[in-house]
Chain A
């Protein structure tokens, strides 16, 4: 690749408040159209906005978690543009005094840490939803204002990303941070987390960036990655041919896997920002910042590093466990109870717990098996064996009962009684003389066959260690 790729990202995250930013209408997703609207969020003549306190607190929390500088005050501005989903034809946003400026997010790509600078973090109101009829000859569009006025956090990076992998890592880490601090549910399928990307190409080492292309309304991380890969090759081809890359806004066409120019004329983004006279500034003192800091938990990157160091698990495992703060909490609760089997716990959670969660499409907070129950099961494993333990685990998930009572009820305790095992193995040896002969002649596989036969007869309950010893002894010493 002879070009350097320069990318930046704007992220829009709906804040998870129950009511809208400037009125008391519900923010619930998926309701009947225009059932969550009132004079204020419809922009009726004469209405005024009053700021939702929690939305502001969430924004401040995010700005602090993203290492932003917090100014003495934040204020709001009007961004003026016409669009049918924008009730007042201006959006209350921030331009001159954002909640946060000059922050950063540390990302990790191929084990290497890189710092992505955040230009600003600001709070604004969400627009409504525009629906285009399916038939292309229908000459109208439809508007639903349920979403209009939902609080929206915008996080703008500097053009700091140089590879698709960096963009991917940034998106994942940013999403995790927002989830960790509990300000957004980041549900991409509901549009509560969206991206806009900017990308330009220039010769390696060039001092001036190339013409910037912006891509709007990317509703999934996959779409971001796809469109950027597409643009890298499209712009690269243009430059190869000595053509100019136009400065423009493009849309990602998911169906045809191409980006295309936006057809709407935008009068060169003349948004005519000016201070919103219907709101007053919000002054932020050190005490408020300090108190907010206290509510921010250990962030994913730090937690991951600590897990590796403290619990001696792999970086990959630590990554999986820290992807969800509640999963990480679950793991730590288990470790605390079990004291030292952190590696084994991590395996159980990553393999078995996550599998069950995925299958049942639930999250860890809804999981029936508590950390205490899981730790007890793992203790029982030494008496019931691995295979039975896995079986008991499924039963625990299904019934919510603890390991001990399932083992007792189903009589799953391991068969370790030497006398009983003696009788059974004698029986097995008698019935399989060929295998016994084979083993004597040095065929190691034959022993495994005999163990298998014994297991079959005990329905898997035989303690494999004791069983193996008894079999070996019986064969070598011969029948008495």
Chain B
């Protein structure tokens, strides 16, 4: 299974992970290896098989509509790398 450099770059961008050229090469090779192994699944005819999306048979699990206390703002912001005036601060987002 071959996977192109363009594809690696596309996925890296989807994943929001900056890769060096060296890393791109290494991951390209390793992913190709793994995908090659995964190809094994094509031996099975699954046309009539239902996908198993859940690991349990549970259904209709709800919580009652009621208020519970929020976390204190100080506790919330203490976790953050950067904040100002009660807000989380991030590099400028351009729309």
Judge whether B40 is part of the interface by a CB distance below 8 angstroms. no
Number of interface residues of B (CB under 8 A): 38
Contact, CB under 8 Å: A26 / B90: no
Judge whether B63 is part of the interface by a CB distance below 8 angstroms. yes
Contact, CB under 8 Å: A42 / B62: no
Q: Determine, out of A50-58, A118-126, A427-435, the stretch whose residues face the partner at the interface.
A: A50-58
Number of interface residues of A (CB under 8 A): 54
When distances are taken between beta carbons in the complex, the residues of chain A under 8 Å from B65 are: 17-19, 52-55
Judge whether A462 is part of the interface by a CB distance below 8 angstroms. no
Contact, CB under 8 Å: A251 / B95: yes
Judge whether B14 is part of the interface by a CB distance below 8 angstroms. yes
When distances are taken between beta carbons in the complex, the residues of chain B under 8 Å from A55 are: 65
Contact, CB under 8 Å: B62 / A34: no
Closest A residue, CB atoms, query B72? A35
When distances are taken between beta carbons in the complex, the residues of chain B under 8 Å from A144 are: 86-88
Distance (Å) between the CB of A355 and the closest chain B CB? 37
What 1/0 flags go to A15-27 for Cβ under 8 Å of B? 0011100011110
Contact, CB under 8 Å: A132 / B92: yes
Contact, CB under 8 Å: B62 / A53: yes
Cα separation A33 to B87 with both chains bound (whole Å): 6
When distances are taken between beta carbons in the complex, the residues of chain B under 8 Å from A39 are: 71
User: Which residue from A25, A44, A75, A280 sits with its C-beta under 8 Å from B58?
Assistant: A280
When distances are taken between beta carbons in the complex, the residues of chain A under 8 Å from B27 are: none
When distances are taken between beta carbons in the complex, the residues of chain B under 8 Å from A272 are: 14
Contact, CB under 8 Å: B84 / A142: yes
Contact, CB under 8 Å: B87 / A26: no
Judge whether B22 is part of the interface by a CB distance below 8 angstroms. no
Contact, CB under 8 Å: A267 / B14: yes
Contact, CB under 8 Å: A75 / B53: yes
Cα separation A279 to B54 with both chains bound (whole Å): 9
When distances are taken between beta carbons in the complex, the residues of chain A under 8 Å from B76 are: 34, 37, 42
Given A18-B65, A281-B59, do A142 and B73 touch, yes or no (CB 8 Å)? Answer: no
Contact, CB under 8 Å: A281 / B86: no
Judge whether A229 is part of the interface by a CB distance below 8 angstroms. no
8 Å CB interface, B15-44 against A:
16
User: Which residue from B16, B62, B92, B94 sits with its C-beta under 8 Å from A56?
Assistant: B62
What 1/0 flags go to A275-294 for Cβ under 8 Å of B? 10101111100000000000
What 1/0 flags go to A381-420 for Cβ under 8 Å of B? 0000000000000000000000000000000000000000
What 1/0 flags go to A49-76 for Cβ under 8 Å of B? 0111111100000000000000001010
Distance (Å) between the CB of B46 and the closest chain A CB? 17
Q: Determine, out of A98-106, A133-141, A310-318, the stretch whose residues face the partner at the interface.
A: A133-141
8 nearest interchain CB pairs? A24-B68, A142-B87, A53-B62, A54-B65, A275-B53, A143-B88, A280-B58, A50-B63
Q: Pull 23 A–B residue pairs with CB atoms less than 8 Å apart, ordered by A.
A: A23-B68, A24-B63, A24-B67, A25-B68, A26-B70, A33-B85, A33-B86, A35-B73, A35-B86, A38-B71, A42-B76, A50-B62, A51-B63, A52-B65, A53-B65, A54-B65, A75-B53, A84-B90, A139-B92, A264-B93, A267-B13, A277-B54, A283-B59
Other A-B pairs beyond A39-B71, A55-B65, A141-B91, 14, CB < 8 Å: A19-B65, A24-B69, A32-B86, A33-B73, A34-B76, A34-B87, A42-B71, A42-B76, A132-B92, A142-B84, A142-B89, A280-B56, A281-B60, A283-B59
